[in-house]
Each structure stands twice: as structure tokens, then as C-alpha cells.
Chain A
Amino acid sequence: MMDFIVIPILALLAATAVTVARIRNLWAAVMFTGIYSFLSASWMLILDAPDVAFTEAAVGAGITTILMLATLSLTPRRHRKSGRLSSEDFEERPSKSPLFPLLIVTITGCALVYGTFDMPHFGDPNAPIQVYPEPSFVEKSQPDMHGLPNVVTAVLASYRGYDTLGETAVIFTAGIAVLLILRKNTDDKDGSESQAVTGENV
């Protein structure tokens, strides 16, 4: 029933991926990865995975775009023609023939598609994901969680609550460490100026 939406979305995904690979302007490529994230998130939503779509939209479309742009602002935006590195390092086109990589990619793709034949059909009630660890999660989670409708949230936040707490602590610590490493070191050099700047910002 949703085919008339799914097929155009998948076609748009393929078109966006080809554009990202072919475009030479890195700024536009970052923009197209944002479009790709939006499209794949909508597709995941149609596949009934709203939590994955949520993550994809927040991380893929939001944070990754900003991180990529921040990286671009720290690196030269165009291919460097001259400089310390020789110009051959930044040739626009690879000099070797693309046939061998194309062959490897095709073989790998065929192997992956062959691997999917062993997977259970989409929505199969006898698939391992439905019968393991226990279908009783689906039955018991609602009374256990006082009527929380989403089983994934119940498992993540309650049955596996300490695990999630540990994960959150690890990610929080990593974020603090990255921020401490990346911040500007102006405090030691000229403290008065940086104080004035922060005063202005406040």
C-alpha cells in the first residue's frame, strides 16, 4: 500500500547518493548528505522504526551536518593546486582505471545481496527478532511500565536502565573531554582580553 511512497523515496536516495559521490563542491556534498539523512529517516519511519528514524534525523541531519561544516571550516575547501604537498596529491580525477574498483564493489554488493537471502522475510512472525529473547516482553511491558506503549523505550529505559545510564555517562564524559580539548586556549596567553570577550558575549 505504501509502495507508491517507498519507491520514489528509494529512487531519491539513490540519486542523492550518486550526487554526493560525483559532486566536486564539498559544501554542496555536505548539504546532500543532509538530504540523504532526511530521506533515509523517512524511509525508516515507513518501515515502522520511529526510534531509529528519530536518531537518524537528530544525528544524521542535525549534528553530522554541523560537524562536517566545522571540519570544512578548518580545512581548505577546494583542492589545493600548489603548496607544500605536491599537486599530484590533489588531482581531481584518479589516474588509475576505475574498472578494478568497480569490479570489487560489484562483487561485494552481490555477496551482500546473496547474504540477505538467508535473512527472514520482512515482518516474518517466526523471525528470531520476534521470538527471542522472549515475546513476553511485548505482553508484560505495558502493565510493568504502567501503560507505556513503546516496548523499545521500556526495554531501554527500565529493563536495561542501568546499562543505559552507563552508556549515557560514557557519552557525556567523552563529550566533556572533546570540548575540553577543542576549546580555545586564550586564558593563559592574554587573560584580560578573553575576559573582555566573554563579558561582551554575556
Chain B
Amino acid sequence: MDLLLAATEANESFNNYELVVTSVAILVTMILALIRAMLGPTVFDRVLALNMFGTKTVLLICVIGFLTKRTDFLDLALLYSLMNFIGMVALLRFSEYGSFREEGAEIGSSAKL
């Protein structure tokens, strides 16, 4: 029985260790993305960096959720990815057309067709 308990404890600590390493790796990636967003000479460097930053935030929330054993954080991660997508579409649309007005939409739809 003691052996089993020790084994599960070791397993848990191993899992924790894994999650800690994962979160540190995600944080390093976030720092790199932020540096790219600061330096980024073109618009698209910055857009890519922001998108990656949002994705890493979602991953970090998931890892924190498993680290603190609160898996209901996963719903929040879902919302974050949705927000990331909406913000990205808005940014790209603005950088392409320079406005959100109807004319832009018409040009966009005709260009796609």
C-alpha cells in the first residue's frame, strides 16, 4: 500500500515537473514573440507575433489549469482563442483596407470572387 502511494506521489510530482517545464517553455516562447513584435519591421511580423502570443496564452492557461487541478479554466482558454481569432481578423482587415466601412467589404468580396 505504501509502495502504491509512493508510486502515485512520484507520478504526480513527475506530472508537476512536466507541467512546470512546459509552462516555462511557453513563457520563453511568449518572451520571444514579444521581442519579435517589438522589433518587427513589417506589419506581418507583428501580426504573426501577436497571433503566436495569443496562442501561447491559451496554452499557458490550459497548463495552469492542469497545474492547479482546475480544469474549468479550459472554458476560458476557449474564449481566449475566440478573442484571438476575432482580433486577428479585425487587425488584418484594417491593415488590408484601412477601414471597416462597407466599401471595404464590397471590394473584399469582389476581390475574392
Contacts and interface: CB of A to CB of B under 8 A. Distances in A.
Given A31-B50, A39-B57, A57 B76 contact: yes
Interface residues of B, number: 42
B10 interface: no
A72 B34 contact: no
A8 B72 CA distance: 24
B73 A65 contact: no
A65 B23 contact: no
Contacts of B99: 73-74
A124 interface: no
A interface majority secondary structure: helix
Interface of B: 20, 23-24, 27, 30-31, 34, 37-38, 43, 46-47, 50, 53-54, 57, 60-61, 64, 67-68, 72-73, 76, 79-80, 82-84, 86-87, 90-91, 94-95, 98-102, 105-106
Interface of A: 2, 4-5, 8-9, 12, 15-16, 19, 27-28, 31-32, 34-35, 38-39, 41-42, 45-46, 50, 53-54, 57-58, 61-62, 65-66, 69-70, 72-74, 184, 197, 200-201
